[in-house]
A and B are shown apart, each in its own frame.
Chain A
């Protein structure tokens, strides 16, 4: 097992909630040394967002916070105070990367705009993740995951195939997909800047827009407008003849018998009933026309079979078909368990819990997430005294002054 890929990088995480902390987590989980800086009064707002262990709100027991901050070292610092700001600057002097997601202009207010930072660390890369980026007419707009997802274009046609377009409003995806995608893209762009630094020796400011990040999901969809002048609606049967999301005995399954040979194989799985091999299903255009009726017939067949039976039989004939897994199904998935996807992490405030793991497996590296998220201010002494050389008695004074 070799060293982790990013173990020679030091990152200062000034982020809050999801996007920037997720960016820093991805770097931390790959071995970067990440120092998370939280406000002494309450810390990261993800600490106040659920789910909480036992449903009891507790800043050390937020599942969202715990997941987003694995493998980080955590300190508290009031960066609005002169002393706090100087401590942050000391940390930035030797850092490779600063990640933040404050509104545009906030870093300047703190006296930490990129050009100032550059004067004392020209190798520093500063990554700013915001809803709409650092420039342009919407740069100061306020947003939320909901709005970024919809303004990036992916919400308008979600969910597909609604019956009543005036009643069935556009939806966001489950979870906080825009925020997480922005974190992932922020980490990607940060690594681009790290590669650039190898060529030029200097750092730079990386500006990531969450709206544009969601826009990346649209690249195979926009041609419907840019080539065909169409505005796709939620009511259109875009999945007709291709995607069957149907109830079965113990849940739902998703089958995609898009091609003729896949449909024929699926018909065989269903025991070649008359309807499936007859005129109604002959060729994709016929299936597309009759899809509603076909879905009903498929659902009748599926009603007596389980998700695993149906997807297993479909896969045995190379038909794309998988269960609509709930989180419970996923935590018992033989596939995910065999791959070691989940991570079991022991945190002082929660005990051992199972977390989602890294979204990739590197042959030369361990997939395990080793260290739990920091408690609020857990590493103050280690970082301030151990790394920056503050005497221990002054740390006590800094605490009394509300700086850490």
Chain B
């Protein structure tokens, strides 16, 4: 694939880049999905002996379990080719080394040491391909006294400092309700790979990139870190508060468990908010008369605003306040998010057919390029779907050799 993609379209930015993708679960797969959608050829190495954790995760299409029916897997593996190999067998490692020789990038996010035990550690592989970009991502990174520590997402949130800052104001740490550091690390990996590819194009040099999910998260918490290094202050949970904005919170609306955000950053926005609320007498009270006072009395302010918002839907409040120039928007639940008319209008959310899971809403790239063809999205690979392409076309094995390797459980 040089210059022009398989469909004969104008090239996508990463056409000609091949990625051997050992990653599983969340972080690595998001990274390679972003790069795959931009034209890289991503070859996902899997095994039916130990499925990608997401292939076994609910929910499944029509509630029927099956490796090709998991919504989570299917959402995070668009634009990839998939093959199956049992890497505990030496022949499989040999095959995968052949594939790495044809690749520009290797990415993995196993626990520390797994790749080295398979004979696929970066020291070994970079000897075969010195211009390779090899990315390892794990909870705490590939070096340091705690490199062996195992983690899932919530454990990383805890280590990184994010959990200690997420919860109701001055309350105990509660943490984020859902994934955060995994996808954040995936995007970080994508940026690191692109920077390394750019560097390689100019210098011919490969790179080992050591990624720690905890560090990727902590790099986004500078205010808390610097408040300690500057002032010795240990910040705790912030709720929805902001040091220089009030009102700044989520407020109840007419709907059951339906909430709307309002964030006021200036006197002008405050005045507009007051007018939109019908200029209630409490809003003119001295204790709300400037930002300093509103910040000091924000609990009371929040409950008064909450009484007003409770009579409307989040959509009505958003329309009213945005028209008045006040930043506001719903705290979208899954349905509001998946049906968000703006995300639909921009083509961020769209429908995609999957051969087993059917037609489902998926999300595309969070950026648009003015002079680049639309990415050609295709569904996540079925388990072993591209074995023929990988083993015969790319690696040049004869059909009977593939049958042999399948019979002996190397391809499986």
Contact = CB atoms under 8 A, between A and B. Distances in A.
Interface stretch (B93-101, B321-329, B381-389, B394-402): B321-329
A110 to B, nearest CB: 18
Interface string B130-168: 000000000111011111111110111111111111111
A318 B113 CA distance: 13
Contacts of A196: 13, 369, 371-372
A226 B160 CA distance: 31
Interface stretch (B42-50, B243-251, B283-291): B243-251
Contact of A63 (B192, B205, B215, B222): B222
Given A192-B13, A356-B219, A325 B159 contact: yes
A187 interface: yes
Interface residues of B, number: 157
The interface residues of chain B, by DSSP majority, are classed as: mixed
A384 interface: no
11 contacts: A66-B226, A175-B162, A188-B190, A199-B3, A204-B370, A211-B342, A215-B366, A220-B75, A243-B154, A315-B148, A324-B164
B66 to A, nearest CB: 12
Contacts of B63: 228
Among B164, B263, B335, B367, max chain A CB count under 10 A is at: B367
B238 interface: yes
B343 interface: yes
A219 B183 contact: yes
Nearest to A172: B240
B369 A192 contact: yes
Contacts of B248: 144, 146
A151 B329 contact: yes
Nearest to B223: A64
Contacts of A224: 59, 71, 334
Nearest to A367: B210
Interface in A136-171: 136-138, 141-147, 150-161, 165-166, 168-171
A211 B140 CA distance: 28
Interface residues of A, number: 152
A339 B178 contact: no
A390 to B, nearest CB: 31
B203 interface: yes
Contact of A226 (B143, B144, B346, B360): B360
B315 to A, nearest CB: 12
Q: Which of B147, B162, B226, B265 has the most CB of A within 10 A?
A: B226
Contact of B173 (A232, A245, A315): A245
A154 to B, nearest CB: 6
A154 B178 contact: yes
B232 to A, nearest CB: 9
B224 A327 contact: yes
A212 interface: yes
